[in-house]
Structure 1
Amino acid sequence: MVNNRSPLHLIAIEEHFITKEVQKIWNDIGLSRSDPSLIHNLGIIGERLLNLSKARISLMDDAGVDIQVLSLTTPALHDIKAEIAKDISRRCNDAVAEAIARYPNRFQGFATLPVSDPEQAALELEYCIKTLGFKGVMLSGRINNKNLDHSDFLPIFESANNLKVPIFLHPRTPPQDICKTYYSNLSPDLDTAIATYGLGWHYDTGLQFIRLLLSGIFDRFPELQMILGHWGEMILFYVERLCTMKSIAKLNKPINEYFRKNLYVTASGMFLPDYLERAAQIVGKRRILFSTDYPYQHKSKYEIQSFLNECSLSDEDLSNFTHANWIRLTECKNE
Structure 2
Amino acid sequence: MKIIALEEHFVPRQVCEAWEATAKIQDFTVSMNGNQYARQLEDLEDIRIQAMNDAGIDVQVLSLPSPGVQNFKPGDSISVARDFNDILTDAIAKRPDRFDGFATLPVPSPIAAAKELQRAVQKLGLKGALLNGRVHERNMDHSDFNPIYEAAEALHVPLYIHPQLPPSGVRDAYYSGIGPIADIMLSMGAIGWHYETGIQLLRMVLTGVFDRYPNLQVIVGHWGEVVLFYLDRIAQLNHAGLKLERPIADYFKQNVYYTPSGIFSQHYFSRTIEIVGVQRMMFSQDWPYQSCGENGARTFLEQASISQAEQEAIAHGNWERLVSGILRNTDTETGGSGKL
Give 1:305 deviation, angstroms. Answer: 3.3
1:1-335 correspondence runs (5 A):
8-29=1-22, 34-248=26-240, 249-332=242-325
Distance between the aligned counterparts of 1:227 and 1:289, measured in 2? Answer: 9
Q: Please identify, of 33-42 and 214-223, the stretch whose mean Cα deviation from structure 2 is larger.
A: 33-42
Distance between the aligned counterparts of 1:86 and 1:52, measured in 2? Answer: 24
Distance between the aligned counterparts of 2:60 and 2:10, measured in 1? Answer: 11
Distance between the aligned counterparts of 2:23 and 2:300, measured in 1? Answer: 40
Q: Alpha carbons of 1:96 and 1:74: their partners in 2 closer, same or farther (altered >3 Å)?
A: same
Distance between the aligned counterparts of 1:29 and 1:222, measured in 2? Answer: 36
SS of corresponding position for 1:299? coil
TM-score using structure 1 length? 0.94
Distance between the aligned counterparts of 1:290 and 1:30, measured in 2? Answer: 31
Aligned partner of 2:243: which letter? K
Aligned partner of 1:27: which letter? E
Aligned partner of 1:136: which letter? G
Aligned partner of 2:56: which letter? G
Distance between the aligned counterparts of 1:239 and 1:21, measured in 2? Answer: 41
Q: Alpha carbons of 1:30 and 1:209: their partners in 2 closer, same or farther (altered >3 Å)?
A: closer
Aligned partner of 1:10: which letter? I
**Deviations along 1:3-36, whole A, 9 cap, x unmatched?**
xxxxx211000000112222122212465x6322
RMSD: 1.4
SS of corresponding position for 2:254? helix
**Deviations along 1:161-211, whole A, 9 cap, x unmatched?**
110111110000000000000000111111000000010000000000000
Give 1:59 deviation, angstroms. Answer: 1.7
Distance between the aligned counterparts of 2:203 and 2:36, measured in 1? Answer: 36
Distance between the aligned counterparts of 2:303 and 2:22, measured in 1? Answer: 46
**Deviations along 1:308-327, whole A, 9 cap, x unmatched?**
23201111111101110110
Q: Alpha carbons of 1:66 and 1:302: their partners in 2 closer, same or farther (altered >3 Å)?
A: closer
Give 1:65 deviation, angstroms. Answer: 0.7
Distance between the aligned counterparts of 1:321 and 1:306, measured in 2? Answer: 13
Equivalent residues of 2:57, 2:297 under 8 A apart: no
Aligned partner of 2:110: which letter? P
Aligned partner of 1:55: which letter? I
Give 1:122 deviation, angstroms. Answer: 0.3
Distance between the aligned counterparts of 2:273 and 2:206, measured in 1? Answer: 22
Equivalent residues of 2:23, 2:72 under 8 A apart: no
Give 1:46 deviation, angstroms. Answer: 1.3
Aligned partner of 1:20: which letter? R
Equivalent residues of 1:236, 1:278 under 8 A apart: no
Identity of aligned residues (%): 42
Give 1:44 deviation, angstroms. Answer: 4.8
Equivalent residues of 2:133, 2:161 under 8 A apart: yes
TM-score using structure 2 length? 0.92
Instruction: State the match for 2:334 in structure 1.
Output: none
Equivalent residues of 1:115, 1:121 under 8 A apart: yes
Unaligned runs of 5+ in 2: 327-340
Distance between the aligned counterparts of 1:35 and 1:290, measured in 2? Answer: 27
Aligned partner of 1:162: which letter? A
SS of corresponding position for 1:227? strand
Q: Please identify, of 292-301 and 120-129, the stretch whose mean Cα deviation from structure 2 is larger.
A: 292-301
What is the aligned residue count? 325
Aligned partner of 1:317: which letter? E
Distance between the aligned counterparts of 1:332 and 1:286, measured in 2? Answer: 16
Equivalent residues of 1:125, 1:159 under 8 A apart: yes
Distance between the aligned counterparts of 1:234 and 1:158, measured in 2? Answer: 27
Q: Alpha carbons of 1:235 and 1:332: their partners in 2 closer, same or farther (altered >3 Å)?
A: farther
Q: Alpha carbons of 1:61 and 1:44: their partners in 2 closer, same or farther (altered >3 Å)?
A: farther
Distance between the aligned counterparts of 2:117 and 2:203, measured in 1? Answer: 23
